[in-house]
Amino acid sequence: MAPAVTVDVVEPATLPHKGSVAISNDKLNTKTADDVAEGKWKDFSFDAIRESQVARAMARRYFNDLDRYAESDIVIVGAGSCGLSTAYTLAKARPDLKIAIIEASVSPGGGAWLGGQLFSAMVMRKPANKFLIDIGVPFEDEGPYVVVKHAALFTSTLLSKVLAFPNVKLFNATSVEDLITRRDESAPGGVRIAGVVTNWTLVAMHHEDQSCMDPSTINAPVIISTTGHDGPFGAFSVKRLVSMQALERLGGMRGLDMNTAEDAIVRGTREIVPGLIVGGMELSEVDGANRMGPTFGAMVLSGMKAAEEALSVFEERKKQNAA
């Protein structure tokens, strides 16, 4: 007979009391996987559960995460191909760092679920294929470039690897709607970025038709913004830098030129103002770089470079704080 199972039930009235409720054996589902495999669906049933257990299982973890990541080491804004490549590179290199990813959409991945014009295949120019080998995504080798048979294979594999890191937390359906700043006379625009201001995206979309709905915050010494090129949510951080006069103006993304664009984005990935690194297509809005269209190698390599830049900024700040 299977032993009684006990679950920790935290009664709201007596928080932080931890009680336990025994689910008696006869309610336990003694059906094994084999039973199910043998098609004994007729009298199948799950073990009993109470709705509040599900509600508490979700809430407890989410609010623990909010508490834990309120002070992060690195925040990545935007979980598109560049942001996710950054997160993977960082989390793999530095399991000691707390990395928060803030993604406005319910579904992370940005523009990397399809190739161009809604076609499935995704093209990446070498040496981005090395990243694909690292994360275990198969591709067809076409010489100077490779082709992943479905963009969703790349994005879902990368997303699953990023989410599996214990030091990474993805806050999706959550928007960065401002930046935390500190006065910094040594910075060209007079500010250093010290974190992000967040709100549920559905809230951020309704500031015009609801009374004031204040945001929350995440403090971090390094922010990496990869919010894509201009669009309803695109190029958020660089547009905000201009509106707070920390950046004079935006260069504006130029026309499509694959060769020029991909080199410029990878080379240009850098710290734009102290504490804020910009990568991916958001950078095209700053530097006036060309767009590259449906080739994603620069997103991956920009992510790898953004991770490197972030680590050197992080270590530099740590030294300054220790001095």
Q: Is 159 in the site for ligand 48N (CB under 6 A)?
A: no
Q: Is 115 in the site for ligand 48N (CB under 6 A)?
A: no
Binding string to ligand 48N for residues 28 to 47, with x set by CB under 6 A, is what? --------------------
Q: Which of 102, 124, 128, 264 binds ligand 48N (CB under 6 A)?
A: 102
Q: Is 112 in the site for ligand 48N (CB under 6 A)?
A: yes
Q: Is 291 in the site for ligand 48N (CB under 6 A)?
A: yes
Given a contact cutoff of 8 angstroms between Cβ atoms, the answer to whether 89 and 303 are in contact is yes
176 carries a ligand binding annotation:
yes
Given a contact cutoff of 8 angstroms between Cβ atoms, the answer to whether 44 and 36 are in contact is yes
Q: How far is the CB of 154 from ligand 48N (least distance, A)?
A: 11
Place of tokens 């981005």: 128
Within positions 216 to 235, which residues make up the interface with ligand 48N, using CB under 6 A? 226-229, 233-234
Residue number with CB closer to ligand 48N (26 or 208): 208
Binding string to ligand 48N for residues 299 to 318, with x set by CB under 6 A, is what? x-------------------
Residue number with CB closer to ligand 48N (129 or 227): 227
Q: Is 292 in the site for ligand 48N (CB under 6 A)?
A: yes
Distances (CA, A) of 135 to 75, 273, 300: 22, 31, 12
What one-letter code names the amino acid at 58?
Answer: M
Q: For the residues of 8-39, what is the DSSP string, one character each? A: EE--GGGTT--EEEEEPGGGS----HHHHHTT
Residue number with CB closer to ligand 48N (111 or 221): 111
Q: Is 199 in the site for ligand 48N (CB under 6 A)?
A: no
214 carries a ligand binding annotation:
yes
CA dihedral for 113, 116, 119, 124, sign (positive or negative):
negative
Q: How many other C-beta atoms can be found within 10 angstroms of the C-beta atom of residue 133?
A: 11
DSSP 8-state class, residue 2 = P
Q: For the residues of 160-215, what is the DSSP string, one character each? A: HHHHH-TTEEEEETEEEEEEEEEE-TTSTTSEEEEEEEEEEHHHHTTTTTSS----
291 carries a ligand binding annotation:
yes
Q: Is 176 in the site for ligand 48N (CB under 6 A)?
A: yes
Rounded Cα gap, residues 12 and 14, in angstroms: 5
Residue number with CB closer to ligand 48N (9 or 244): 244
Residue number with CB closer to ligand 48N (56 or 150): 150
Contacts of 221 (CB under 8 A, 6+ apart): 73, 74, 194, 275, 313, 314, 317, 318
Size of the site for ligand 48N (CB under 6 A): 32
Half-sphere exposure of 173 (CA within 13 A, CB side): 4
Closest CA to 296 of 161, 128, 107: 128
Q: How far is the CB of 230 from ligand 48N (least distance, A)?
A: 10
Given a contact cutoff of 8 angstroms between Cβ atoms, the answer to whether 227 and 237 are in contact is yes
Q: Is 175 in the site for ligand 48N (CB under 6 A)?
A: yes
293 carries a ligand binding annotation:
yes
206 carries a ligand binding annotation:
no
Q: Is 285 in the site for ligand 48N (CB under 6 A)?
A: no
Q: How many other C-beta atoms can be found within 10 angstroms of the C-beta atom of residue 88?
A: 24
Task: Name the site residues for ligand 48N (rule: CB under 6 A).
Answer: 77-83, 102-105, 110-112, 175-176, 226-229, 233-234, 236, 256, 280-282, 291-293, 296, 299
Which residues are annotated binding-site positions for substrate?
A: 82, 103-104, 111, 176, 214, 229, 281, 291-293
Which residues are annotated binding-site positions?
A: 82, 103-104, 111, 176, 214, 229, 281, 291-293
